[in-house]
Structure 1
């Protein structure tokens, strides 16, 4: 009996190990379901279009946001533990819309267009942080084919329509969105109480170019101010990799606390030969800009 029990325990442990090492299909698990589920929301009609959401979207002028922030964590985690904890709170944020373009035969295209970016949950009731430019990509007049709904998709594939823009800050490239979770409590990322320092370790879980829930690490490489629309803003440069699709994701410390938000990359080229890339500057918005937006508005 003991021998049989031992075999069963070994098999169970092996099964768990195998499950933990499964490889995801970015297309089958995320890209295709995102379009299909967004299409179902559009067809059901329980969505807020870009035109309807547009009046509430401003570059500034918002009041403080009522948010139940989670207290910062103090226990350092191994990278694998950090990924498992953080990734559940990272979301896909995407505008979506049925094409509707009519071909030469008079047939309308039924394809659902999506343009996925990233975001993260800061309140279990459904408050999401992303970039201003991500929200603006839905509202802007240049968005011609994805204006039916803006969606937030969780790691497990659950999808929600965005129902409100609670705050936005063009200068600091931040936006705070609201979804109706239908009573579901969402996993939340805690917010650090101070900005990181140069040399501190950083981690990112994001969706670079359709590689959903990719994990990257590095450190803070620089802290500087730059002129942007509306005046100066502070930037935290990091060495952890991210790319298009990562916009709006959280920069995390070794404890799992948010210390910044992905914003943009800038290719630095040789002054004598513009074709030679020497470095890619990866710019993020420090957490202090987010906490100020939440507590004071803009």
Structure 2
């Protein structure tokens, strides 16, 4: 049986800053100081706002059905681009669409606030509709565990340092590890990713995500396989009432913290969503296994864009 590993990131401590502003970059835009970036977050948006608590998000998400398309007005997305781009152009054009997703814990002493930075997300519409993994938002989508009372809200951090708060879940697929959610944009339109077509084995891919604090890490590879998986390999868990899980396996690198990150084609269109990894190792000549002493390969499972389009009712 294949053992899959979810791609989550751990806890990060941020200080309460309301006066610090400015660009979190060096004197040019090439070399970014992410310590400075986090010190310059626009955390003043926490003050005087009607924030959506974890319990409120859980209660509203409990009314949704697994695999059901979002209710209400149709979601307007961008058409897929057709012009091939080089890697540098894809990164420059798509970075503004990709976010760090986090969870606020209980306020600490001396004004400090404790955050979990739990993965990656991206925009698919200008008006606040975003996508990440089901397992990234599992505390909202699954029955809450004891001790989560201090998790007061969920948020995303944009590349410009603005913080936007999640105000509702719109749809999810547990088997395909996808969650669609809405944020309070504070009247700031998002820059969405165009949704592409399903990729074929051998097609080039690019991944933009946040592996273990290496924020906005950009990697390149190909589609290794398009496959169905069994319920034991569904890293976010398996719902027997859901649709059969499918995955696009890729060779582009990612790691813990990359969950929910976009996988892009050569035109910069979305073709997949980072989900999990499955290492293949050997144990001193005793044969192949998914865990062992000598690692040989890491299979990288992503949810294909076809699963997202189906969830959106396309």
- TM-score calculated relative to the size of structure 1: 0.82
Q: Following superposition, which runs of at least 4 residues in structure 1 exceed 6 angstroms of deviation?
A: none
Q: Does 1:238 align with 2:265?
A: no
* 1:158-182 Cα distance to aligned partner (Å, 9 max, x none): 1111111011111111001101213
What is the root-mean-square deviation in Å for CA atoms of aligned residues?
2.3
Cross-structure match for 2:15: none
Separation in 1 of the partners of 2:77 and 2:67?
22
Q: How far off is 1:270 after superposition?
A: 1.2
Cross-structure match for 1:285: 303
Separation in 2 of the partners of 1:224 and 1:124?
32
Alignment check: 8 A CA contact 2:281 2:296 kept: yes
Q: Alignment partner of 2:130: what SS? A: strand
Q: Quick one: which of 110, 119, 124 aligns to 1:122?
A: 124
Separation in 1 of the partners of 2:147 and 2:129?
24
Q: How far off is 1:109 after superposition?
A: 8.5
Q: Alignment partner of 1:27: what SS? A: helix
Q: Quick one: which of 185, 188, 192 aligns to 1:188?
A: 192
Separation in 1 of the partners of 2:47 and 2:140?
18
Q: How far off is 1:267 after superposition?
A: 1.2
Cross-structure match for 2:18: none
Unaligned stretches of 5+ residues in structure 1: 1-17, 101-106
Q: Alignment partner of 2:180: what SS? A: strand
Cross-structure match for 1:71: 79
Separation in 2 of the partners of 1:268 and 1:94?
30
Separation in 1 of the partners of 2:268 and 2:180?
20
Alignment check: 8 A CA contact 1:70 1:191 kept: yes
Separation in 1 of the partners of 2:36 and 2:149?
23
Separation in 2 of the partners of 1:282 and 1:49?
33
- TM-score calculated relative to the size of structure 2: 0.78
Q: Does 1:226 align with 2:229?
A: yes
Determine which structure has greater relative contact order: mean sequence separation of CA pairs < 8 Å that are 6+ residues apart, divided by chain length: 2
Name whichever structure is richer in helix by fraction.
1
Q: Does 1:158 align with 2:162?
A: yes
Cross-structure match for 2:263: 251
Identify if the C-alpha distance between structure 1 residues 137 and 245 changes in structure 2 by more than 3 Å, giving closer, same or farther: farther
Separation in 2 of the partners of 1:249 and 1:217?
13
Q: How far off is 1:56 after superposition?
A: 2.2
Separation in 1 of the partners of 2:251 and 2:150?
33
* Residues matched between the structures, number: 267
Identify if the C-alpha distance between structure 1 residues 166 and 143 changes in structure 2 by more than 3 Å, giving closer, same or farther: farther
